[in-house]
Chain A
């Protein structure tokens, strides 16, 4: 972690644009940050440094202090279980963690997922013995080809599920993107963290108000 200023880790891909627009609304110039080039480190105004990483890696960067702060999905935080501060619900990237499968059972005992820890915990809590199949993507394929009876995955619009003739069988958790902080940065850089958090909080509040009045 840099001794001065703050380093924030943002997820590459789907959520980057929304994350950047939050930072822009909070008063940070995010002009040249994008994930289409090979550049992964950017210096913004106001002593803010942005690093771009895979969404699943964000908690790791923050837990080890390579970044002071990060934007991470609740799904990723539940899966990684790192010791870090979860400061603010940013209200973006809303989706649900669900168990899904073909509409009619019976299902075999295999469950395919990108989230082996969440799946293990969920089925243990529900007293069901399953075999967790860890996949890195295209999880919805698993029931179609007989790799697993069900899947545990994030569902946003449900479009992907419908296209693959799957339905939600149970909801595991509601997911949104969170502002997270390294435990040391949260203390050592308390003033800077509080300032950034306050700015983001105001933006998020404005946005929720906007949604409500629509």
Chain B
């Protein structure tokens, strides 16, 4: 019989699983030091609890409970955290600083899209722009540095910049522009932008949008050429956040990109993604979603991000290999004494495996020791 595993799933083998856990622990430790509290939610939610709208576009794993209600395997963490904040944590005062660690599920196949992948992330609920954004951006930088990713490029954008520029356009046209950017189809974007009425305010900026990327100096210079108030306000906010986050992150380089839009569609402010040389997909992504909690009945300004654990591993974020145990080889009649010795060693934090036979694969151990040898060593140490 050929035993297969489902598409898009991955087994973490000995060593890999330890490295994964070590990395998750490192990240969660950083979050804890920033005052974020770990929560867990079920792997699946009632499908009806997830708001209607374009964010539902992704294909999910869905199934029914015994009463015929539609369930969905957690497609991402933000919905579950929002539900938690509005139900079990309803009485807890805002701001809430929560973090999580666990698998998310996606039924859509494609490059870099596994069926099960793992995210470690934070949600900061009840903290408005720009303070909340600066905190989250600085925290993301701190976390990535803790796992030795010094070469991350953080790309930062703002949904209200485009919203501002397109405020006076007919909605179908504005929507066509947004959809092209979400699809990353800059050719399609240009085709729509070319048909904008000559009278449209900031028409020129809209047409140049895909090229509007650069550093903080670039943003400052751009400010003067923006007419719309909402768009200018978005730029101002980006600059403020960048200045404070930059100070907190000791100069992690930001690339501002005003054409950056992220799926899902619930973002309402500053958004960001992080990329590393040599890894083909973003390793971190997040942003502000001030309207999402309305749906759950506890309106609150909110922002957060998720780090892709597998992608961090691809990026070589894990350095140390987990320690190997020593092999304690005992003879006939020595079993009890061997177990007592092993117990003493383990209490001192050593990793010990005991056996009556010589080890089949000695390379799996830091050392292979006979009983007498170990006892001798123990005596000389004390």
Contacts and interface: CB of A to CB of B under 8 A. Distances in A.
Contact of A82 (B111, B275, B276, B282): B111
A93 interface: no
Interface in A61-97: 63-65, 81-89
B81 to A, nearest CB: 25
Interface in A43-72: 60, 63-65
Contacts of A89: 187, 190
Contacts of A15: none
Given A64-B112, A83-B112, A184-B280, A190 B213 contact: yes
B112 A87 contact: no
A81 B110 contact: yes
Contact of B187 (A60, A64, A88, A183): A88
Interface in B200-219: 211, 213
A172 interface: no
A187 B186 contact: no
Interface string B16-55: 0000000000000000000000000000000000000000
- By CB atoms of chain B within 10 A, which of A81, A82, A86 has the most? A86
B237 to A, nearest CB: 21
Contacts of B184: 83-86, 183
B188 interface: yes
A181 to B, nearest CB: 9
Interface bin, chain B: 20 to 34
Q: Is the interface of B mostly helix, strand, loop or mixed?
A: mixed
Q: Is the interface of A mostly helix, strand, loop or mixed?
A: mixed
A188 B111 contact: no
- By CB atoms of chain A within 10 A, which of B113, B187, B273 has the most? B187
Interface residues of A, number: 25
14 contacts: A3-B277, A63-B110, A64-B280, A82-B111, A83-B111, A84-B184, A85-B184, A86-B183, A86-B188, A183-B275, A184-B279, A184-B280, A187-B257, A194-B211
Interface of B: 110-113, 153, 155, 183-188, 190, 211, 213, 255, 257, 273, 275-282
Given A63-B110, A87-B187, A89-B187, 8 more contacts: A63-B111, A83-B112, A83-B184, A86-B184, A86-B185, A184-B279, A184-B282, A187-B275
